[in-house]
Structure 1
Amino acid sequence: MTSTAVSADFHSTFQADKRATPPSLTDITTRLHALRAGLNENLAFLPAYDRRSCELQQLKELESKLSQLRSKDKPKSRFAFSAGKSKAAPVKAEGEAPTPGSSASAPSAPTPKQSTLPVSANAATAAGPVHVISNLSSQLVRAPSDVEGGYTITLESLSSCIIDLRPPPQTSGTSGRNATPPSTAQATSIHAKSLRRCVLLVPVMEGSAIMEGLEDCLVILGAQQFRIHSSRSTTILLHVPSTPIIEHCSALAFGPYPLFLQQPEYTSKHHDVQDFDWVREGKSPNWAVLDPSNEAFAERDAEAISGLGDGDGDAS
């Protein structure tokens, strides 16, 4: 529900932070992630016009500035991970695209070798530290293991990856002193861009999820708000208390959050999708609700994928 006071206050703060963005590459990157995290946390209070203006126009302007600076001066990124560090041979993914009711092509590739990835540098924001994972292919990507409390995560330019953002499980040693306590890290919001043939598994979050440029993916997540732009041929198993929003999308299939994962107490509106591109009467042709048979098939796939790599711990 839109709040005029909150919307006006956020608009003033957003514009002030945008004008204050310094020209340094590192500072622009940090401020840009902070702006996006702030926008994600305030989506529920903003009118549709302000949401689209901030996200699709003004943040794009800052991203363009960042891209121009990177093309002139390409230092070692504080946030990006290099796929070249992995010693594992690349895993070939099958190129067959799934239908909206099927998630078979994403997990059908040979089981990828788990990647032990360093956590990127933090950007201090009101939503917690920001972690960025980018430019990886055929990897099993885990949630950061050396983080405490809430954090925001950004995923960009990933292909044929399984991304499991559930907190790392408690491990036991030969004695109680060697046991690893359960992690307190928890993703609070997520922004994903340019994912191809990926499986994304996210526990229920307290914040929002923004997706852009997804193709042939299986997305399993719970969030307070969910928006997806410029995406196609993707199955989404979702638990969300507010209306999911899609824009410039096609062949999306929505189903309920899998029962084998922890269920929130609130009622989900995953089946009540709003398409910003569809202003006519009747249902949009750009999305569909999974029928019971395809819903069961997708949940079986999700449960099988969730068990990958649970046996012997991290790869060295």
Structure 2
Amino acid sequence: MASAERHSVFYAEFQARKKDILKDLEDPINLTRANEGTASLQKILVDAAGDLPAYDQRQYETQIKELQQKIESERNRSVPTTRFAFRKKAAVKSASQGSSTSPTKPATETATPEIASQSMSIASRTSSYIGWSSVSLESSALIVSDLDSCIVNLIEHRENTSLSKTPAINSVHVKNLTKTILLLPHIEGSAILDHLQDCIVVVACQQFRIHSSQNSTILLLTPSHPIIEYCSSLSFGSYPRLSSSSAELGPSKHAEVQDFGHLLQTPSPNWHLLSSSEEEVCHQRIERLLDTPPDNALLRIADILNT
């Protein structure tokens, strides 16, 4: 990869991560995630330091410092401050003045409203089939985490005919999946995946990034370069044309993967493109899976993942 192209790819990755951090800072409940994201951003800058011009590196370092300052500011703002003041002692009335006193009203406690999560969440499940009927539709952001031997089917909603169309999802964050099949519809924004092992992911999105994952297959449609980092044994193929709407999503760069964990000017050993025959087999099995009742589908999950 030419130096200018590597710089361009790094810039896109840096800005995408920075955007996610700034989004997290809009809600105090995500402060820890914003801090972790900034630490990760600093790490990829350190790793790429030898490949960046000195001026560009200083600019990136300045942006990271600004993020750290914002996080510290938000952290201080979220800690309530208590003001102390000395109170004058109430004058003690003498017995001759009478003892007519009115009962003191207890102080009214102000209830602190709970901060509600602004994301749909699918979490902590084992050997489960999860469709639209299991997901709250109150948000356009989706978080999927801590699944083992599950099927998440959000491409089709055949089990819930009350939905006139698939609900829109603006972004998806996926973390800690093992032996799971994740079927996602068109994501209007980014799909960010972390720590997947022995999984199949089907997704169409504007930006795709996957970190610290192994032995997984990604059937993808995206107009931008997919980015992988600290991954191994990943397979990439095209998004299956499962409905008329999927044909309208346009061209894809799923085959133009950029490996941020492999900075040498040689092909990355951490991913490969499925052959046309391998891709066709994957597509056919996903289509059959969508037509299979949930209980039977779970029985076949091992066979599908092992192919």
Q: TM-score range by the shorter chain?
A: 0.5 to 0.7
Q: What fraction of aligned residue pairs are identical, expressed as a percent?
A: 32
Seen in structure 2, the aligned counterparts of structure 1 residues 300 and 275 have a Cα distance that, compared at 3 Å, is: same
Write the deviation string for residues 47-69 of structure 1: whole angstroms up to 9, x where unpaired.
99969x98xx97xx99xx9xxxx
SS at match of 1:293: helix
Structure number with the higher helix fraction is: 2
8 Å contact kept, 1:150–1:185: no
Q: Deviations over 1:91-143 (max 9, x none)?
A: xxxxxxxxxxxxxxxxxxxxxxxxxxxxxx9534xxxxx11111100000112
Tell me which residue corresponds to 1:207.
189
Show CA shifts across 1:34-90 (max 9, x none).
9999xxxxxxxxx99969x98xx97xx99xx9xxxxxxxxxxxxxxxxxxxxxxxxx
Structure number with the bigger relative contact order (C-alpha 8 A, sep ≥ 6) is: 1
For residue 256 of structure 1, report the CA deviation from its aligned partner: 0.4
Question: Structure 1 residues 184 and 140, CA, compared in 2 at 3 Å: closer, same or farther?
Answer: closer
Number of residues of Structure 1 aligned to a counterpart in Structure 2: 217
Q: How far 1:215 sits from its partner (Å)?
A: 0.7
Return the match for 2:170 from 170, 185, 188: 188
| 1:219 lines up with 2:219 in the alignment | no
Distance 1:36 1:170, change over 3 A: farther
Distance 2:182 2:202 in 1: 6
- Structure number with bigger Rg: 2
Corresponding residue number in structure 2 for 1:162: 151
Q: 2:142 aligns with which of 143, 150, 153?
A: 153
RMSD of aligned C-alpha atoms? 4.2
Q: Aligned with 1:299: secondary structure?
A: helix
**For 2:160 and 2:199, how far apart are their aligned partners in 1?**
30
Counterparts of 1:218 and 1:160, CA distance in 2: 11
The one-letter amino acid of 2:121's match is: V
Correspondence 1:17 to 2:1: no
1:238 corresponds to 2:246: no
Quickly say closer, same or farther: Cα 1:14–1:35, change in 2 above 3 A.
Answer: farther
1:263 matched to 2:271: no
- Alpha-carbon distance in 1 for matches of 2:180, 2:35: 26
Give unmatched runs, 5+ long, in structure 2: 1-7, 38-55, 76-114, 296-307
Q: CA 1:306 to 1:50, structure 2 compared with 1: closer, same or farther past 3 Å?
A: farther
* Letter matched to residue 131 of structure 1: M
The answer to whether structure 1 residue 252 and structure 2 residue 234 are counterparts is yes
5+ residue gaps, structure 1, are 22-27, 38-46, 66-120, 125-129, 173-179, 312-316
Q: What is the TM-score when the length of structure 1 is the normalising length?
A: 0.57
Q: 1:169: how far off?
A: 4.1
SS at match of 2:278: helix
Cα displacement string for residues 163-209 of structure 1 (whole angstroms, at most 9, x for unaligned residues): 0113634867xxxxxxx351462222111101000000001111110
Q: Partner residue of 1:116? A: none
Residues 167 and 183 in structure 1, CA contact (< 8 A), matched pair in contact too: no
> What amino acid sits opposite 1:201 in the alignment?
L
Q: 1:32 to 1:151 in 2, by over 3 A?
A: farther
Give TM-score, length-normalised by structure 2. Answer: 0.59
